[in-house]
Amino acid sequence: MNLGTLALKSLWSRRIGVALTLAGITLSVALILGVDRIRVEAREHFLRTVSGTDLIVGARTSPVQVLLYSVFRMGDPTGNINWKTFQQISSHPKVRFAIPVSLGDSHRGYRVLGTTDAYFQHLGYGDGQKLRFQSGRGFEGVLDTVLGSEVAAILGYQVEDKIIIAHGTRDDGLARHDDMPFTVTGVLAPTGTPVDRTVHVSLAGIEAIHVGWETGVHRPGAGVANVDPEGLAPREPKTITAFFLGLNNRMDVFLLQRAINAFPGEPLTAILPGVALQSLWDMFGTAEAGLVVVTVLTLITGVLGMLAGILATLNERRREIAVFRAVGARPRDIFVLLVAESTLLAFTGALFGLLLLTLVAAGLGEFAMARYGLAPSAGLPSVREWGLLGGIVLAGSVAGLIPAWRAYRQSLHDGLSTGS
């Protein structure tokens, strides 16, 4: 009987204890791979928050600041951009599309973004995916609004519902535009990006509700309050917060970026979204490092659990080892047998752990993506993950050297009378 078959039979004779050890390894491997997949996919997802957009233009400030308020709706812009400037740049022959955005209002804790239908037609995320409607449609009237999936789900809104927008980030009676409610005309499908947490309205709607708010508070009797929304005429904005540009030829991006940054009309900052996203991710590298530490600690925990399980049964197996010696097994055969058992446990645990992660990802992936915008994929392991699995099996083999050495030493002295 070869040592491989002998190792299998030996493990089977202790199947209850081995099953518990194997369960611990399986859970550890699934956690290791799951954490690593989430770490890698979180980075990739973050870097693909915006796709298909070649430049983002804001008032003169740092690239990260432009990215934070224009993409992530965080913080406040240092200034606005003149509408005439936007029109001049967007009409450049190298520009394929331009998406203006205007920030400043909110609704029950969610940022309100004024834009045009170009936002829904051209804004991309992930691997070039475009925004799509879960229900309803885009803007048709001045006081129409399109909600991100999270806004609609958390606040319980549906198409045709009415919502009230508040001036600024306050949402109290003094700041609310109660006289001009918006009608929900559409809800966007989940994207896992800040779009899900945004209330979208038309630029014309932003202009309409702010008539009489030029000083920051409503001036009684001013504006277009109580006017039938169907009778409101679209008003051209004076300023916007930022705008997104897509070019006909991406090779022109640096040329146009330099031209915008040196724009004579007003100080502007044009950023490359991918570069700015990478810079922002690097600023928060501690979180990624923390996930790496969790992965390493989980691996160590799994290996130590397997080692403890083997060592706990070693004294009980002294008679078994003595019998092996009596029928001709050499001490080195005992050594190899114990290493083979630990390697087999690690290999089987790695295989089961991969299978468990795949099943969980396949079963809960869609829910996690819709709820959290991120989920481990259920696909085949990457080259990196194969390396992790190989490292886990190798760590199991190395851990098996300790009980193997103890068994080797004991087998030199124990006889058939051991434990009798």
In angstroms, what CA-CA distances link 172 with 165, 177, 181? 10, 10, 15
The mean per-residue pLDDT over the stretch 43-54 comes to 84
Percent of the chain with pLDDT over 70: 80
Q: Which range has the worst mean pLDDT, 32-46, 87-101, 243-257?
A: 32-46
Residues 284, 174: Cα–Cα separation, whole Å? 37
Range list of β-strands (E), 189-252: 198-202, 239-240, 242-247
pLDDT at 371 over 80: no
pLDDT at 420 over 50: no
Structure tokens at 191: 């994207």
With b for 16 or more beta-carbon neighbours within 10 A and e for fewer, the 142-164 pattern comes to: bbbbbbbbbbbbeeebebebebe
The mean per-residue pLDDT over the stretch 39-52 comes to 81
Q: Which range has the worst mean pLDDT, 34-38, 142-146, 153-157, 317-321?
A: 317-321
Q: Which helix (H) or strand (E) holds 110?
A: strand 110-115
pLDDT at 416: 41
pLDDT at 285 over 80: no
pLDDT at 380 over 80: no
**Between residues 109 and 303, the one the model is more confident about:** 109
The mean per-residue pLDDT over the stretch 109-120 comes to 93
**Between residues 32 and 159, the one the model is more confident about:** 159
Q: Which range has the worst mean pLDDT, 132-136, 203-207, 264-268, 324-328?
A: 324-328
pLDDT at 171: 61
Contact 392, 350 (CB under 8 A): yes
Residues 60, 79: Cα–Cα separation, whole Å? 8
The mean per-residue pLDDT over the stretch 361-371 comes to 68
* pTM over 0.85, yes/no: no
Domain ranges of the chain: 3-46+285-411, 55-271
Within 13 A of 59's CA, how many CA atoms are on the CB side?
15
pLDDT at 249 over 90: yes
Residues 236, 257: Cα–Cα separation, whole Å? 26
